[in-house]
Amino acid sequence: MHGDKVAFDALIERHGDHLHSVARRILRDPYLAEDATQRALLDTWRYLPTLRDPDRFEAWAHRLLVRACLAEARNERRHRSSVPLLTIDDPVVMDSAARIATRQQLDLAFRRLGIEHRTVVVLIHYVGMSAIEAAAAMGTPVGTVRSRLHYALKYLRAAIEADARLEQEVGTA
């Protein structure tokens, strides 16, 4: 038990910041991210004795974290039905008067992605996973991951391109 605790402390020291950063990006809510990270770390503790290959720790921890994030998001969605999610097919809303900067536009679009789509984007373009690794972390088929990534990027790209068009129009006016 003591040895496990020492090892666990070392794992938190090494991976805690990163896991929390990933949760922040997936959930985009500091409180939910803290809850999800806490849940994932406790799951890590619970199941640590079942981890046979220490080299797989990082992928395994990401899987627990994604589960925790999705669970937190589900709970949040249940209690806050007004949260706008899964708006992949909606047109990008532009604030033409304010000429929103690209980063802000991306931020807005990213916020409007559903949790599963955001998770795929974060795992692949922030954590650096392959589609196969992301599929393992999310417990979904690779095809689903690729499909979600495709639509998420399409949506985000449309947001940036709309912003660029707006800038061009203003510049030539």
Name the site residues for another protein (rule: CB under 8 A).
4-5, 8, 12, 16-17, 19-21, 24-25, 30, 33-34, 37-38, 41-42, 45-50, 52, 67, 70-71, 74-75, 77-79, 102-103, 106-107, 110, 121-122, 125-126, 139-140, 153, 156-157, 160-161, 164
CB of 162 to another protein, least distance (A): 11
Smallest Cα–Cα separation from 156: which of 95, 97, 114, 96? 114
**What is the residue-wise DSSP string for 65-116?**
HHHHHHHHHHHHHHH-TTS----TTSPPP--TTTT--HHHHHHHHHHHS-HH
In whole angstroms, give the CA distance from residue 78 to residue 145: 24
CB of 22 to another protein, least distance (A): 10
Residue number with CB closer to another protein (96 or 154): 154
| CA angle, residues 133, 139, 142, in degrees to nearest 5 | 55
In whole angstroms, give the CA distance from residue 163 to residue 62: 33
CB of 133 to another protein, least distance (A): 14
Residue number with CB closer to another protein (54 or 139): 139
Q: Do 166 and 96 touch, CB atoms closer than 8 A?
A: yes
| CA angle, residues 45, 9, 51, in degrees to nearest 5 | 40
CB of 91 to another protein, least distance (A): 18
CB of 127 to another protein, least distance (A): 9
Q: Write phi, then psi, for 93 (nearest 5 degrees).
A: -90, 120
